[in-house]
């Protein structure tokens, strides 16, 4: 069956798929049915990474878990104000004690709201939901869906809703550009309702906050809603173990070598830790936070740039702190070996990324 036909049918089923999309069991059955076919689902063999095989990603006990900040992604249609909103939040909520504020883009940053921390992914929302999720990483706790009050629900708004829903990530809507004379809140709410998001003030359970990235109106309300949602999610992690995190961004710096932004998920990542991520391993010889400040450690939900890796790791891959340098190198070598055996098609990342605008 031609690919275009399959994709068209999937879109008809409400699944915004690209050619390498992973679809769930129910969708498979519906899709096959549409083509007059019946399919048998057999259990897929679970893929276990070398790190998992070695028991590095063990579960923590309930009593070891401590509250952690929420990790938030901003999504929405092009030009609805994602970048503007992230900028306003970044610049108006950095800790006032930090002179200079945030000086560099590292792919994530943490702000203080009423003495509580919130981490924002400063990268395109689609990446957090597509390429990263393809690799099994689910790092976002809450999605802020930006909808321009003068433009309403657009194709990428609907895509964002579908991505957040399939990832089971709660959505908070920021109805942006309310400063514009042509803003129409009720129309936007109606359109969102038509797309499965019922406004709280209409009896539904989706929080919708009118904001303006231009006048900064409503931004504090939005952040408070994020904290409220985070509280209900009871996000927790064990800070007292060897760290596991996800690579948010990575690049080769001419002078400093491979640099990677890690979002810590479990444990505490420390200066001097031996780490491994895919083929890349090394000892952390510097850690920098989102304010370009040298730090010694980063706990759950905190982003940090690390130096000391042998190679540039892949965004979306996990990174593990391990016992010693030899363990790190052995795992990296094994990862190289197993990837040679089953070449992963990295093309699907590119095609998925091209589907959406960049932030």
Out of Mg ion, ligand GDP, none, what residue 124 binds, judged by CB under 5 to 8 A for its kind, is: none
Q: State the alpha helices, DSSP H only, in 130-178.
A: 131-134, 155-166
d(CA 262, CA 269): 9
Out of ligand GDP, Mg ion, none, what residue 280 binds, judged by CB under 5 to 8 A for its kind, is: none
Out of Mg ion, ligand GDP, none, what residue 213 binds, judged by CB under 5 to 8 A for its kind, is: ligand GDP
Q: How far is the CB of 179 from Mg ion (least distance, A)?
A: 18
Contacts of 75 (CB under 8 A, 6+ apart): 82, 125, 126, 129, 143, 144, 145, 146, 160, 163, 164
Q: How far is the CB of 354 from Mg ion (least distance, A)?
A: 16
At how many degrees (to 10) do helices 82-92 and 219-233 cross?
90
Q: Compare residues 148 and 225 and give the one whose CB is closer to ligand GDP.
A: 148
Out of ligand GDP, Mg ion, none, what residue 214 binds, judged by CB under 5 to 8 A for its kind, is: ligand GDP
Out of ligand GDP, Mg ion, none, what residue 265 binds, judged by CB under 5 to 8 A for its kind, is: none
Q: How far is the CB of 261 from ligand GDP (least distance, A)?
A: 20
Q: How far is the CB of 160 from ligand GDP (least distance, A)?
A: 11
Out of ligand GDP, Mg ion, none, what residue 84 binds, judged by CB under 5 to 8 A for its kind, is: ligand GDP
Q: Compare residues 74 and 309 and give the one whose CB is closer to ligand GDP.
A: 74
Q: How far is the CB of 85 from ligand GDP (least distance, A)?
A: 7
Report the candidate in 304, 305, 262 with the shortest Cα–Cα distance to residue 139: 262
CA 358 to chain centre: 14
Cβ atoms of 240 and 321 within 8 Å: the answer is no
Out of Mg ion, ligand GDP, none, what residue 177 binds, judged by CB under 5 to 8 A for its kind, is: ligand GDP
Q: Compare residues 82 and 93 and give the one whose CB is closer to Mg ion.
A: 82
Q: How far is the CB of 177 from ligand GDP (least distance, A)?
A: 4
Cβ atoms of 346 and 315 within 8 Å: the answer is no
Binding residues (CB under 6 A) for ligand GDP: these are 76, 78-84, 176-177, 179-180, 212-214, 359
> Residue from 57, 83, 162, 330 that binds Mg ion (CB under 5 A)?
83
Contacts of 340 (CB under 8 A, 6+ apart): none
Cβ atoms of 192 and 154 within 8 Å: the answer is no
- Residue for token pair 């998920």: 265
Q: Compare residues 140 and 156 and give the one whose CB is closer to Mg ion.
A: 156
Q: State the alpha helices, DSSP H only, in the chain.
A: 3-12, 25-34, 50-53, 82-92, 125-129, 131-134, 155-166, 185-194, 219-233, 325-341, 347-354
Binders of Mg ion: how many residues, by CB under 5 A?
Answer: 3
Q: How far is the CB of 128 from Mg ion (least distance, A)?
A: 15
Q: How far is the CB of 82 from ligand GDP (least distance, A)?
A: 3
Out of ligand GDP, Mg ion, none, what residue 80 binds, judged by CB under 5 to 8 A for its kind, is: ligand GDP
Q: Is the dihedral of CA 9, 15, 18, 20 positive or negative?
A: negative
Candidate segments 80-88, 172-180, 318-326, 346-354, binder of Mg ion by CB under 5 A: 80-88
Q: Does 57 bind Mg ion (CB under 5 A)?
A: no
Task: Kindly list the distances between the CA atom of residue 95 and the CA atoms of 2, 297, 304, in Å, as whole numbers in the listed order.
Answer: 54, 18, 16
Residue 223, phi then psi, degrees to nearest 5: -65, -35
List interacting residues with Mg ion (CB under 5 A): 82-83, 359
């Amino acid at each position: 069956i031609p690919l275009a036909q399959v994709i068209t049918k999937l879109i008809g089923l409400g699944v915004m798929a690209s050619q390498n999309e992973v679809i769930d069991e129910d969708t498979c059955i519906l899709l096959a049915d549409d083509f007059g076919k019946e399919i048998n689902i057999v259990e897929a063999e679970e893929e276990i990474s070398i790190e998992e095989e070695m028991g590095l990603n063990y579960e923590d006990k309930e009593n070891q878990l401590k509250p952690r900040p929420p990790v938030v992604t901003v999504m929405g249609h092009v030009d609805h104000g994602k970048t503007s909103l992230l900028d306003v939040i970044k610049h108006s909520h950095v800790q006032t004690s930090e002179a200079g504020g945030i000086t560099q883009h590292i792919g994530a940053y943490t702000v203080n709201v009423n003495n509580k921390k919130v981490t924002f992914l400063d990268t395109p929302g689609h990446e957090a939901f597509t390429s990263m999720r393809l690799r099994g990483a689910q790092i976002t706790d809450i999605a802020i869906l930006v909808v321009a009050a003068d433009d309403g629900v657009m194709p990428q708004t609907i895509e964002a809703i579908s991505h957040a829903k399939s990832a089971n990530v709660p959505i908070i809507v920021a109805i942006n550009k309310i400063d514009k004379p042509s803003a129409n809140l009720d129309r936007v709410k109606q359109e969102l309702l038509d797309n499965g998001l019922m406004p709280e003030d209409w009896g539904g359970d989706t929080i919708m906050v009118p904001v303006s990235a231009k006048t900064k109106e409503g931004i504090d309300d939005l952040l408070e809603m994020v904290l409220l949602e985070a509280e209900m999610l009871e996000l927790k992690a064990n800070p007292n173990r060897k760290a596991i995190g996800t690579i948010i961004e990575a690049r080769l710096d001419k002078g400093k070598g491979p640099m990677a932004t890690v979002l810590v998920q479990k444990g505490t990542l420390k200066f001097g830790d031996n780490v491994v991520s895919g083929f890349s391993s090394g000892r952390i010889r510097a850690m920098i936070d989102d304010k370009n400040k040298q730090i010694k450690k980063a706990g759950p939900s905190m982003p940090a740039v690390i130096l000391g890796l042998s190679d540039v790791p892949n965004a979306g891959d996990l990174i593990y702190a391990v016992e010693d340098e030899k363990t790190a190198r052995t795992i990296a070598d094994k990862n190289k070996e197993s990837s040679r055996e089953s070449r992963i098609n990295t093309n699907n990342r590119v095609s998925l990324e091209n589907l959406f605008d960049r932030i």
